[in-house]
């Protein structure tokens, strides 16, 4: 996943990250490899957990 800097998480642009989420969230969003998306994540312990995903037009 390509991304810009995420200051709130202390991440530089294109830094490797793993986001954990329920498969049903991805299925409902209808995203496919290569799609542009907007994510909302929360840090829980040592993980980034998917809160919301939205496919960009």
- Residue 23 CA to residue 45 CA, distance in Å, equals 21
CB atoms within 10 A of CB 53: 19
Report yes or no on 39 lying in a domain.
Answer: yes
Report yes or no on 2 lying in a domain.
Answer: no
Q: What is the mean pLDDT of residues 37-53?
A: 92
Report yes or no on 29 lying in a domain.
Answer: yes
What are the DSSP E strand ranges found in the chain?
Answer: 19-20, 37-44, 47-55
Report yes or no on 14 lying in a domain.
Answer: no
pTM of the model: 0.71
Proportion of the chain above pLDDT 90, given as a percent: 46
Provide the sign of the torsion angle of the four alpha carbons 18, 24, 29, 34, taken in this order.
Answer: positive
Q: Is the pLDDT of residue 1 over 70?
A: no
Q: How many domains does the chain have?
A: 1
Domain range for 23: 19-55
Q: Given pLDDT bands bounded at 50, 70 and 90, which one contains residue 45?
A: very high
């Amino acid at each position: 996943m390509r991304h810009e800097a995420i200051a709130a998480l202390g991440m530089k642009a294109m830094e490797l990250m793993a986001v954990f989420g329920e498969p049903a969230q991805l299925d409902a969003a209808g995203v496919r490899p290569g799609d542009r998306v907007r994510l909302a994540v929360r840090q829980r312990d040592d993980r980034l957990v998917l809160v919301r995903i939205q496919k960009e037009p």
